[in-house]
Structure 1
């Protein structure tokens, strides 16, 4: 299935999709047939939009389109605003009989929203998620207990049921903020180890007391983690100025810390990475030469 929410293609045009996605918290890619030579399914200038779960419009279908979708989603996983140009031969390699050639431009528009993975769907998480729904944060909400999740979650939240929550650490995007709120101390520790080993997290917060923090620090040191790695864990999590043990009090305390975190990221936004003009020019020159050669043969 091409889309999660609909069977096949969305009714949106590529422009409508890009406009809608730009207003949300989702990274997306505009795929453009920059130039074409020979027999191709669509003309140059044709566009489609690819997001993590959906595609909008088409560049002609077939294996070329599936390759383009796959490549676009690989770029989405990297989570960086960039441009990339690729040359595709529409021959045996792509299983298309057109025999032409296309230069495809991938323009990645990365969301400025912070990515947060929340582990645990207990009382604190239940209180926290509605607060996060009102903030520019993209959330993956993870637990092994499907029955704990509410039927409906906010638009910026993706719920994930996994019998082995630690497996989700492997698929997390780099520069993700991690928040551990599970019901099991051993699971908390396993998640903490896995996240620290990644060495590319934006932040790691673990719910607990000072006693729990000291135990985790000791256990991590015993397992060979360096002092710097151990100190990358924030435990107890939440603002010290906000006290209280009710789930909502704890949730508000954590939310305040997360607000401070994402606001610190907005101080200096990364500049968009453009494709080197020389590389783009080389692609176009190559394509022009191919068109000229075919014209003479004809």
Structure 2
């Protein structure tokens, strides 16, 4: 991950001064990759840099900084010698204190980790060349970071058991912008995961043109006719990937009907059906885990394996 200003701003608004702990670099085996971060405030924290002794040390340092009013710190920790962890590698951490009015307004960003001064030329060059999502770097004792890459759109059609399970599994994962559609407000659970956009719509297929053409779609409604209409709308509009819940028999019928609507076999074959992985079981949570794993594992190019209910 790179710099998530929105998440940091929300934590500062809720808890006051916050220390962000950032993994700047790793060597050898380490719990998390460079760019991973967590937030620590007095009495709480969010995120993780890997748990265990490393995270305990990081949190203790962060709380000490909050108590003392320190702004920044950095340290390279050999996980074996320093913390008795079995990873065997080393992690370089940076701690930064943020409070209201101290968040950067523009990204990428560069911040001195020692006394402030004129930005060195090497830092300015690194800053100008850093794309979104790039790994953070320390250049001449300045921390240089990029913004997060644009979140990938996932549109989930249907708020039944599988739809709820999919959203609950996918919502905590970074880099996703989830839009959730069903027929009416009472179709959705009372508590919707943070960051998920809920849209009640009497005619869901009419919303398809609002989806980005590079979005991923999961069609999971209770109504086969609605599923078919959504597949037709998705094929007409365009998508990065599309998964339809159903049996092999259902998909054979849908292929015939979509062909009758004018779609080519090659285009129809881009819809993945059935979804899930029978080796995991047919429970909605198991289906959701299988679908999420496929999205993560294959770069969102496919989300099917075997049969779902």
User: Conserved in 2, the CA contact under 8 Å of 1:180 and 1:205?
Assistant: yes
Is 1:179 paired with 2:190? no
> Normalising to structure 2: TM-score of the pair?
0.49
Q: Is structure 2 residue 148 aligned with structure 1 residue 163?
A: no
CA drift at 1:154 = 1.8
Instruction: Give how far 1:258 is off.
Output: 1.9
Say if 1:263 and 1:191 are closer, same or farther in 2 by CA, change over 3 A.
closer
Q: Are 1:257 and 2:294 counterparts? A: yes
1:127 to 140, 165, 188: 165
The partner residue of 1:143 within 161, 179, 182 is 182
Return the structure number with greater relative CO, CA threshold 8 A, min gap 6: 1
Would you say 1:20 and 2:59 are equivalent positions?
A: no
Task: Give yes or no for contact 1:118–1:179 (8 Å, CA) kept in 2.
Answer: yes
Gaps of 5+ in 1: 1-17, 25-46, 50-80, 82-108, 266-298
Unaligned stretches of 5+ residues in structure 2: 10-103, 107-131, 133-146, 303-309
Q: 1:170 to 1:110 in 2, by over 3 A?
A: farther
Count matched residues.
168
Choose which of 234, 240, 246 in structure 1 pairs with 2:283: 246
Quick check: 2:185–2:200 contact (8 Å CA) kept in 1? yes
1:225-270: CA deviations, max 9, x gaps? Answer: 1111111110001235x342222122222222222244779xxxxx
2:206, 2:193 → 1: CA distance?
24
Contact 1:114 1:262 in 2 (8 A): no
Q: When the two structures are superposed, what TM-score results if normalisation uses the length of structure 1?
A: 0.51
Q: Residue 238 of structure 1 contacts residue 256 of structure 1 at CA under 8 Å; is this kept in 2? A: no
1:16-43 deviation digits (Å, cap 9, x = unpaired): xx9623879xxxxxxxxxxxxxxxxxxx
Match of 1:220 in 2: 258
CA distance 1:181–1:264, change in 2 (3 Å): closer
How far off is 1:151 after superposition? 2.4
Partner of 1:194: 233
